[in-house]
Amino acid sequence: MTRLAALLGLELPLLQAGMGAVAGPGLCAEVSRAGAGGTLALYKEPPARAARLVREVAAATGGRPFGVNVVPEVTGPDRCLEQLRAVLPELPRNGFVTAFGLPADDAAHAVRAAGRPLVVQVGTSADADTALARGAAVLVLQGTEAGGHLLGEQPAASLLATVRARHPHAVLAVAGGIATGGDLADAVARGADGATAGTLFVPATESAAHPEFKRRVVEAVAEDTLVTSLFEIGWPHRPHRVLRNSLTTATERAPAAFIATARVDGRPYPVPRYSAAAPGAATTGRIEEMAMYCGRSCTRVTTTHPAAATVARIRQEYEDALVLRAGSHTSTPPAPHRIQET
């Protein structure tokens, strides 16, 4: 039990990232039922649909805690606040809110006023300071190993060391490089209270990712990913780590024509080339040319399993790693306590 697990009511100090086109109700509910922190991606969802999705998850989790994820940088502060006002009354009392990037003051206040823990993902120590000042109960420190849009320029371990030194009593999780229970135990040993994983859950049976997206992640190794700003339509000015494809290796930029169609509630939405949208299960078209966000931890993500089986594996590996660490500490006799003569 870590402070993250205790604060959010989790059995395992692991949060599933709120990935747009991936983290739908099915994945969120399954991760939460398994004892980790399932998270529902609100992304650009209209407030009324967002509220309906939260009710769907609440009905499926059997009282387990779960979170919703907002992305203020993409929605803008007004729509973000509208989403929160729609979903907070539907969120169970043990629910929580995660924000990718800094939420505005009024959004942070709305979460705190509703009595829900606010989890804020940041990528710099300056943003960590700001998030805590706005009332964040948990900071997720994103390293450059992570897949998706990057909030900073430091590896996770380096950022954790910096923020832990500045805020010794803050509840901190890391994002980037988490694919096994050993990875989680290592993060805790370095001073984290837990971690967030995204790439790990993309291939899950309940993930809403397109089958080709899942296959690519499972077959990829770290060197198959790169950081680029290529997929900027809909989310400009933010570098992102993706799997290499024909667009990332091209020497010239292709026309930003429509290459795919995404469907939400049965309605079609055209997707242009270089869009920030990831391919969901209902997306059709030139899937290979779309952004497939993937972290360097993909080297250790090698199979497709139900999310509950993945969480169970992580839990067992984590517990085994803790036992090994405890054994290594007790196998060496402690140094004798020296009393200084005066």
The per-residue pLDDT for 342 is: 27
Global pTM value: 0.94
Is the CB of residue 191 less than 8 Å from the CB of residue 178? no
The per-residue pLDDT for 264 is: 86
Token output for 178: 């988490």
At 257-303, the pLDDT tens digits run: 999 999 988 899 999 999 999 999 999 999 999 999 999 999 999 99
Q: What CA–CA distance (Å, rounded) separates 319 from 316?
A: 5
Q: Helix, strand, or coil here: 100?
A: strand
Q: What CA–CA distance (Å, rounded) separates 24 from 2?
A: 27
- Range list of β-strands (E), the chain: 14-16, 38-41, 66-70, 96-100, 118-122, 138-142, 148-149, 172-175, 194-197, 225-228, 240-243, 258-264, 267-272, 284-285
At 194-244, the pLDDT tens digits run: 999 999 999 999 999 999 999 999 999 999 999 999 999 999 999 999 999
Domains and CATH numbers, the chain: 3-208+302-326 (3.20.20.70), 211-297 (no CATH)
pLDDT in tens, the chain (342 residues): 899 999 999 999 999 999 999 999 999 999 999 999 999 999 999 999 999 999 999 999 989 999 999 999 999 999 999 999 999 999 999 999 999 999 999 999 999 999 999 999 999 999 999 999 999 999 999 999 999 999 999 999 999 999 999 999 999 999 999 999 999 999 999 999 999 999 999 999 999 999 999 999 999 999 999 999 999 999 999 999 999 999 999 999 999 999 999 998 889 999 999 999 999 999 999 999 999 999 999 999 999 999 999 999 999 999 999 999 888 766 544 433 333 332
